[in-house]
Amino acid sequence: MIVMKFGGSSLESAEALERVAAIVSSEIDRKPIVVVSAMGNTTDQLIAVSKEAGRCHGYEVWKAIKELQEFHLNEAHRVVQDDAMAWLELSLRRQFRDLHVKLLSAADEGCPLTPALRDEVLSYGERWSSEVVAAVLQSSGVPAVHLDSRRVILTDAQYSDAKPLLWETYAKIRRVIPTLGKGRVVVMGGFIGAAEDGTTTTMGRGGSDLTATLVGAGVSADEVQVWKDVDGLLTCDPKLLPGGYRVKSVSYGEAAAMAKAGAKLLHPETVSPVIRQRIPIVIRNSRRPNVEGTAIEAVAQPCKNPVKSISCKQTLTVLEVRSNTEGEADTMAEALEKLCARNNVRVEFSGSTGKTLFLGVNSCEQLQSLAYSNQAGLSGLHAHAHSHSALITLVGEGIHSTPGLMARAVAALRDFPVVCVPDDGSGLKLSLIVPQPALKQSVALLHREFFEEVDPAVFTASEGRAGSIERATCAAPPSSGRVPGTRPFPQPSPA
């Protein structure tokens, strides 16, 4: 038995839906369970329509829902046959009507959506897509049945970032899916679940990946396949540096470190459910199913390169806090993270060394909402906020066993103000803070430093690689040692 998860870009059109049906059909002997994201950019549109409802813009709400309905029905009509289409259209029209009523009621009240209602609204994308995909499979000759994920994915009530209740979820999955899926492909939406009181929850952007591995762990699958619109994990974000290498194999620890450091290809918690049973995850390209992709396994293949990938988090504000006492940074970090949690401020990263703590959030406004010094009991500290920063993280099992690697990274970026952030103890990463305007060139320079030669057993050229990295690095760094519009990021004082 396998789990096959398809992302939104793999479901964006009738042609894409036909490709998905062909891929699932080719794996029918392995008894697939299919998990899907919302079609195309549906989730972004639902976020936008939620905001319009909060502004009391009833006409804009109606227009946006009408466009979403037409998109789903039009694409489905192109690939779903008559009998299945009649049932699907009836179900979809009822759901769109229900959504319209909920949002108009919110608009009439003239106040923002509650967190619970917002999750309810965002859940519709996966609910629609899973019904569409089940109908497409049925029409293509693959026996399929739809399962509402809220029946089996149980979470806490932390709306928009709900955490699955693992053992309760596994029990429901084992009880429902094998029976429902006898002789049929079970199709369910990712990203969504239900709290213990039955209200709908969502597990954060990218949560469909987590749904797939939860299902995989629940049924003890042989493999979890994650189908995207790229060939697999790459050595760098192609939006920052096109043409990196595809990584053939990474360990669970490396994949988790990449995701938590900003790699958008996986939800940060995707790997956790499969570790205990050592279930492999394979990232594949639905547009190029012949490409082997990237395997995420308990033990990765030995690699001559110490760095496997470069991950990034962009447009951050970094809080630098210094104390007068050696070793107090860990205490500061704990206190500040608790304070952020109480104020719903998401911490993107933190690191401490000696007397200095670095903590990154998404905006200056978030930091301004925290009266951190008195509330956290951290009086007498020196704090500075550095806006317009980015975090670059080198990930690989060989990083901390390779002498001089930090010096190589700093030397490669010698023309930019750089701060090294201490590792969190994983031994798998090295993080660097750079000015946001220097991010693209910094990534290009680091890629040239650590991937000038690659181990062919682990890396292979990605589509469109030729010449792109050379072009990205051909411009020399500014001779002034400073990126226009930035100021030097001060290094921590020696302990």
CATH code of the domain covering residue 391? 3.30.2130.10
In a domain, 290, yes or no: no
CA–CA gap between residue 52 and residue 211 (Å, rounded): 29
pLDDT of residue 356: 79
Same domain, yes or no: 34 and 128: yes
In a domain, 245, yes or no: no
pLDDT of residue 381: 61
Higher-scoring residue by pLDDT: 375, 229: 229
> Taking residues 435-459, what's their average pLDDT?
95
Domain boundary among 229, 260, 283: 229
In a domain, 256, yes or no: no
In a domain, 19, yes or no: yes
Contact of 193 with 149, CB cutoff 8 Å: yes
Same domain, yes or no: 37 and 176: yes
Range of the domain at 429: 309-473
Would the pLDDT of 71 be above 50? yes
Higher-scoring residue by pLDDT: 175, 336: 175
How many CB atoms lie under 10 A from the CB of residue 130? 27
Q: What percent of the chain has pLDDT over 70?
A: 86
How many CB atoms lie under 10 A from the CB of residue 453? 9
Same domain, yes or no: 57 and 200: yes
pLDDT category at 365 given cuts 50, 70, 90 is: low
Give 431-455 as a DSSP string: EEEEEGGGHHHHHHHHHHHHSSS--
pLDDT of residue 464: 53
Structure tokens that stand for 251 in this block: 């360990």
Domain boundary among 183, 199, 229: 229
Same domain, yes or no: 343 and 449: yes
Residue matched to tokens 């990584």: 247
Would the pLDDT of 200 be above 50? yes
Whose CA is closest to 441, among 490, 474, 465, 409?
474
CATH code of the domain containing 13? 3.40.1160.10
pLDDT of residue 436: 93
Q: Is 358 helix (H, G, I), strand (E, B) or coil?
A: strand
Same domain, yes or no: 81 and 204: yes
pLDDT of residue 224: 98
Q: Which residues pair with 137 in a beta bridge?
A: none
Neighbour-count burial for 316-354, b at 16+ CB within 10 Å, e otherwise: bbbbbbbbeeeebbebbbebbeebbeeeebebbbbbbbb
pLDDT of residue 290: 93
Element of type H or E holding 260: helix 252-260
Report the Cα 119 to chain-centroid distance in Å: 17
Q: What percent of the chain has pLDDT over 90?
A: 64
pLDDT of residue 329: 62
In a domain, 356, yes or no: yes
CA–CA gap between residue 434 and residue 436 (Å, rounded): 6
Whose CA is closest to 45, among 74, 25, 77, 68?
68
Same domain, yes or no: 154 and 25: yes
Same domain, yes or no: 30 and 155: yes
Same domain, yes or no: 214 and 66: yes
In a domain, 363, yes or no: yes
> Taking residues 187-191, what's their average pLDDT?
97
In a domain, 275, yes or no: no
Same domain, yes or no: 65 and 207: yes
Same domain, yes or no: 324 and 459: yes
Contact of 432 with 360, CB cutoff 8 Å: no
Query: How many domains does the structure of the chain reveal?
Result: 2
pLDDT of residue 330: 65
Torsion of CA 178, 182, 184, 186, to 10 degrees: -10
Structure tokens that stand for 82 in this block: 């008559």
pLDDT of residue 131: 97
Would the pLDDT of 495 be above 90? no
Total-model pTM: 0.87
> Taking residues 219-226, what's their average pLDDT?
97
| Secondary structure E strands in 304-414 | 309-322, 349-353, 356-361, 382-395
Residue matched to tokens 């206190």: 335
Q: Is 414 helix (H, G, I), strand (E, B) or coil?
A: coil
> Taking residues 84-98, what's their average pLDDT?
95
Would the pLDDT of 489 be above 50? no
Bridging pattern class, strands 245-247 and 223-228: unpaired
pLDDT of residue 485: 38
Would the pLDDT of 141 be above 90? yes
> Taking residues 117-128, what's their average pLDDT?
96
pLDDT of residue 63: 94
Same domain, yes or no: 321 and 223: no
pLDDT of residue 12: 95
> Taking residues 208-216, what's their average pLDDT?
97
pLDDT of residue 494: 39
pLDDT of residue 364: 61
Would the pLDDT of 467 be above 80? no
**Range of lowest pLDDT (107-116, 413-422, 455-464):** 107-116
Higher-scoring residue by pLDDT: 350, 249: 249
Whose CA is closest to 431, among 275, 265, 316, 266?
316
In a domain, 265, yes or no: no
Q: Which alpha helices (DSSP H) does 27-114 contain, by range?
A: 42-54, 58-79, 82-109
CA–CA gap between residue 105 and residue 97 (Å, rounded): 12
Same domain, yes or no: 317 and 223: no
Domain boundary among 180, 200, 229: 229
Burial of 101 (0-12, 13-18, 19+ CB in 10 A): exposed
**Range of lowest pLDDT (78-82, 319-323, 435-439, 450-454):** 319-323
> Taking residues 371-375, what's their average pLDDT?
46
> Taking residues 236-241, what's their average pLDDT?
90
Would the pLDDT of 80 be above 50? yes
Would the pLDDT of 58 be above 70? yes
pLDDT of residue 419: 87
